[in-house]
Amino acid sequence: MAITAQSVADVCGSAKRASRPLALLDTAAKNRALEAIAAAVDERVDEILEANARDMDSGRAAGLDAAFLDKLRLDHDRVAAMSDGVRQIVALPDPVGEVIQGFRLPNGLDLRQVRAPLGVVAVVYEARPNVTVDCTALAIKSGNAIVLRGSSQAAHSNAVLAAVAIEATNDAGLPQGAIGLVAGGGREELAELATQDGLVDLIVPRGGEGLKAALKNVATVPVIYAASGNCHVFVDADADLRAAEEIVVNAKTQRPGVCNAIETLLVHRDVAPEFLPGVLRRLRDAGVELRADGRARAAAGDLATSLQDVTDEDWDTEYLAMVLAVGVVDSVHEAIEHVNAHGSGHSEAIVTGSTDSARAFERGVDAACVYVNASTRFTDGGEFGMGAEIGNSTQKLHARGPIGMRELCTYKYLVEGSGQVRP
């Protein structure tokens, strides 16, 4: 099925009309639609990979870097992970109608605060075509219609995946327009989508600072920014250095082009001479470009000459590449100050054997996700048991961290009485 080109307003209007009956569907009906999406993705894997190959060829020809191409690439395992994620969402409890709290007032009124769908959620994303399916599944299970706006670099992949989802859900009885794809336009189209007041209830951008800035300048629709990840690992004086090395290498190299990969390594001065030579050698051998401050260079031994000087700008940079800033600090409190000054509020980690240091870091660091003795790479809706995620919010209002089904809900108060009137 080819997706017929429609204006942004038409797509959003169709989604708004679909959102009303969609919000009333029971859990079984929504789950049937999701099962249909998962089955269709599995059945049409060759078609999906063929479309993705066209995007990859275009990306290489355009000179896209390796990290971006990795985010763009699909293979059999990644497609299978998409359908598996949809089935995980099927297995999760339906958030719609969930009672947050309930009690009887002194006047006899019974009050319940319950979750309700937002209505129409728009997602703007770069590269990662899996977002098309992940976000669609989360929106449907939470009773929301969705408008998708992917990047031109993934146009073929997104078009096929959206068509697969639309066909499957239409056949399963979901209202027409519950899934919409906006494709082909530039910044003007983005601005139009971000100003669909009355039609779009929330827009979530997943991308770099350029996308965030573009929306901030024009958006009149509420926005949750799935923003950048300038993440850190701090290795404390009491750390298990073997475990610390594995955590650092994983957090930097396992997939460097994603927002929960670390961009800065901080090490306590007491263990820097013992820890840094080994971990820096492993990182260098893995292809990481290392930028170090003077104290880190002094502790690096014979690797010092291969380290670049870190700049003030480096501390604030989300590289999304095999580049790492390295610094030495005097205490956990200095590490906390550095993280809060330069981090983006995404994911931060401490490796320590000290309960006091762990608690100080947990309480002092201002971030959506704070780890003790674990890699930052776990900040992900799937890893957190949400099945998938719309993105990771670094904001503090409405949603923070992975945006799953509950974060796609608002709430309403249901109040039942027996004739009460206010005196």
352, amino acid identity: T
On average, the pLDDT of the chain sits at: 94
Strand-pairing partners, residue 414, are 112
Contacts with 149 (C-beta within 8 Å, 6 or more apart), sequence order: 122, 123, 124, 125, 181, 182, 183, 189, 190, 193
For residue range 131-180, what is the model confidence (pLDDT) as tens digits? 999 999 999 999 999 999 998 999 999 999 999 999 999 999 999 999 99
Per DSSP, the three-state class of 292 is strand
In the predicted structure, residue 226 carries a pLDDT above the cut 80: no
Token pair recorded at residue 78? 């990644």
Average pLDDT over residues 73-100: 96
| AA identity, residue 192 | E
**Tens digits of residue pLDDT in 396-412:** 888 899 999 999 999 99
Greatest CA separation found in the chain?
A: 82
Q: Is the pLDDT of residue 1 over 50?
A: no
Collapsed DSSP state (helix, strand, coil) of residue 328: strand
Q: What is the DSSP string of 29-81?
A: HHHHHHHHHHHHHHHTHHHHHHHHHHHHHHHHHTT--HHHHHHH---HHHHHH
CATH tag, 8-226+390-416: 3.40.605.10
pLDDT of residue 127: 84
What's this model's pTM, rounded to 2 decimal places?
A: 0.85
C-alpha closest to that of 268 among 324, 350, 341:
350
Nearest Cα residue to 351 out of 377, 324, 372? 372
The domains of the chain are located at 8-226+390-416, 231-378
DSSP 339-403: HHHH--SSEEEEE-S-HHHHHHHHHH--SSEEEESS-GGG-STTTTTSSS-S-EE--SSS--EE-
pLDDT of residue 207: 75
Place of tokens 């949603």: 399
pLDDT in the model for residue 227: 67
pLDDT in tens, 236-252: 999 999 999 999 999 99
Q: How confident is the model at residue 186 (pLDDT cuts 50, 70, 90)?
A: confident
Report, in angstroms and rounded to the nearest whole number, the Rg of the chain calculated over CA atoms. Answer: 23
Where is pLDDT greater, at 254 or 386? 254
- For the chain, how far is it from start to end, CA to CA, in angstroms? 61
> Hey, is 210 helix, strand or coil?
helix
pLDDT at residue 90 tops 90: yes
In 3D space, the residue among 288, 122, 103, 88 whose CA is nearest the CA of residue 193 turns out to be 122
Give the pLDDT score at 14: 97
CB 196 within 8 A of CB 9: yes
Place of tokens 């299978």: 80
How many percent of the chain have pLDDT more than 90?
85
Task: Give the pLDDT score at 185.
Answer: 64
Residues 15-58 have pLDDT tens digits of: 999 999 999 999 999 999 999 999 999 999 999 999 999 999 99
Task: Say which residue, 5 or 213, is predicted with more confidence.
Answer: 213
Phi, psi of 199 (to 5 degrees): -110, -45
Per-residue model confidence (pLDDT) at position 184: 60
Beta carbons of 59 and 126 less than 8 angstroms apart: no
Cα 408 to Cα 238: distance, rounded to the nearest angstrom:
41
pLDDT at 206 over 90: no
Q: Are strands 110-117 and 99-104 parallel, antiparallel or unpaired?
A: antiparallel
Residue range 231-378 forms a domain whose CATH class is alpha beta
User: Does the pLDDT value for residue 219 go beyond 60?
Assistant: yes
